[in-house]
Amino acid sequence: MDASTWVAKRTPPNALARLFDYKPFLVAVCLFPAVGLLLAFLTYPLGLGIYLAFTDMEIGGNGKWVGLENFEYLITDPIFLNSVWNTMFYTFVATVGKFALGLWLALLLNHHIPFQSAIRAIILLPYIVPTVLSAIAFWWIYDPQFSIISYVVVDQLGLREKYFDFLGEPWPARWSLIVANIWRGIPFVAITLLAGLQTISPSLYEAAMLDGASPWQQFRRITAPLLMPILAIVMTFSVLFTFTDFQLVYAITRGGPINSTHLMATLAFQRGIPGAQLGEGAAIAVAMIPFLIFATLFSYYALGNRKWQQGSKDD
């Protein structure tokens, strides 16, 4: 960065250097790697996936166009319908849980507490560690015979006669998965909302306090409206990734017992890769797209709304 050495190295521009200073060329060169990668491995597969949904493609085979046959079959398939319902239920309950607890945790952390940054670092651990590996830990916690929760509740506290059968029955299995998902989602929600909380000027609370506002009024009238833009974005991402969740369910139940906990993503995998029915798997995946479009539009609207609220013009 030293000016004198920099001047010394300067050479008269040759043709190549001039080419790289030609702006359209430079823009094209700079965008090529990112856009190329995304077109080849994201846009093209997205289109291919929609095409595959209308074929009877199998792994390594040549599929032919079958029109809406896959969808016509799926709409009568109770396992698929169950997975759609499950996905919505899972997304809704887990999102509500994550945001209620995450917001609570963020509000707790926003107080003046000792070791704040250390606590914040520890809280992010469930988010950092590979989901599958923490899911395996939950699998062990949910073991029918040696569950530590059963041990505490039955053997130590004596609140129940029988051990919990967490993953053996449909409803307990669904709730167990939702709890694991909430556990994994809390850190992300809490840390991002905490960042949002910290941008709220303390002078607003000071003014409210002087006017005699109760803590609930402060939350309702200051925290909630100012947090709303960031909350909307975080929620969009959270809904999107919970709706398309795969790892937790695949690791803990693999869709069982008797296909009752399948989400659309795990069912698509089940049919598409081990079942080799690429066309049918793709049709299940494509059935998720309308929801994703809805979530994206919601995100875009929230972003636009935020610009408007902060009164900035361009960025």
Partner 1 sequence: MTDARTAQAALNRRVDAETSGGVTEAEGPQLLSWDSRARRIVVIYIPLVIFLIVLLFPFYWMTITTFKPDSELLDYKNHNPFWVAAPTLANIKKLLFDTDYGHWLVTTMWVAIGSTFLSILASVLAAYAIQRLRFKGSDYVGLAIYAAYLVPPSILFIPLAQVVFQLGLFDTSFALILTYPTFLVPFCTWLLIGYFKSIPYELEECALIDGASRLQILWRITLPLAVPGLISAGIFAFTLSWNEFIYALAFISSTENKTVPVAILTELVSGDVYHWGALMAGALLGSLPVAIFYMFFVEYYVSSLTGAVKE
Task: State which of positions 280-309 bind partner 1 (CB under 8 A).
Answer: 281-282, 285-286, 288-289, 292, 295-296, 299
Pick the stretch among 66-74, 92-100, 168-176, 245-253 that binds partner 1 (CB under 8 A).
Answer: 245-253
Binder of partner 1 out of 73, 273, 308, 309 (CB under 8 A): 273
Q: What is the dihedral of CA 246, 248, 251, 253, to 10 degrees?
A: -100
Burial 271-302 (b: 16+ CB within 10 A, else e): bbeeeebbbbbbbbbbbbeebeeebeebbeeb
| Cβ at position 96, least distance to partner 1 in Å | 17
Residues 29-88 binding partner 1 (CB under 8 A) are: 29-35, 37-38, 40-42, 44-46, 48-49, 52, 57, 59-60
Nearest Cα to Cα of residue 188 among 241, 140, 265: 241
Which lies closer to partner 1 via its Cβ, residue 201 or residue 305?
A: 201
Binder of partner 1 out of 96, 136, 207, 258 (CB under 8 A): 136
Does 157 interact with partner 1 (rule: CB under 8 A)?
Answer: no
Does 21 interact with partner 1 (rule: CB under 8 A)?
Answer: yes
* Residue 142 backbone phi and psi in degrees, to 5: -90, 10
Residues 161-220 binding partner 1 (CB under 8 A) are: 183, 186-188, 191-192, 194-196, 198-203, 205-206, 209, 212, 214-215
CA distance 78 to 96: 27
| Cβ at position 41, least distance to partner 1 in Å | 5
Binder of partner 1 out of 97, 185, 255, 272 (CB under 8 A): 272
CA distance 54 to 47: 12
Binder of partner 1 out of 79, 237, 257, 275 (CB under 8 A): 237
Q: Measured between alpha carbons, how far is residue 80 from residues 84, 103, 255, 288, 294 in Å?
A: 6, 34, 12, 12, 21
Total binding residues toward partner 1, as defined by CB under 8 A: 119
Q: Measured between alpha carbons, how far is residue 278 from residues 66, 236, 259, 275 in Å?
A: 13, 29, 19, 8
Two tokens, residue 131 = 């989901």
Residues 104-133 binding partner 1 (CB under 8 A) are: 104-105, 108-109, 111-113, 116-117, 119-126, 128-133
Which lies closer to partner 1 via its Cβ, residue 174 or residue 280?
A: 280
DSSP H or E stretch at residue 142: none
Pick the stretch among 71-79, 91-99, 137-145, 165-173 that binds partner 1 (CB under 8 A).
Answer: 137-145
Binder of partner 1 out of 82, 204, 228, 247 (CB under 8 A): 247
Does 15 interact with partner 1 (rule: CB under 8 A)?
Answer: no
Pick the stretch among 77-85, 88-96, 170-178, 239-247 that binds partner 1 (CB under 8 A).
Answer: 239-247
Residue 103 burial (CB count, 10 A): 23
The count of C-alpha atoms lying within 13 angstroms of the C-alpha of 142, restricted to the half-sphere facing its C-beta, is 23
Does 232 interact with partner 1 (rule: CB under 8 A)?
Answer: no
| Cβ at position 35, least distance to partner 1 in Å | 7
Does 6 interact with partner 1 (rule: CB under 8 A)?
Answer: yes
Residues 6+ apart with CB under 8 A from 154: 160, 161, 162, 163
Nearest Cα to Cα of residue 266 among 142, 92, 97, 82: 82
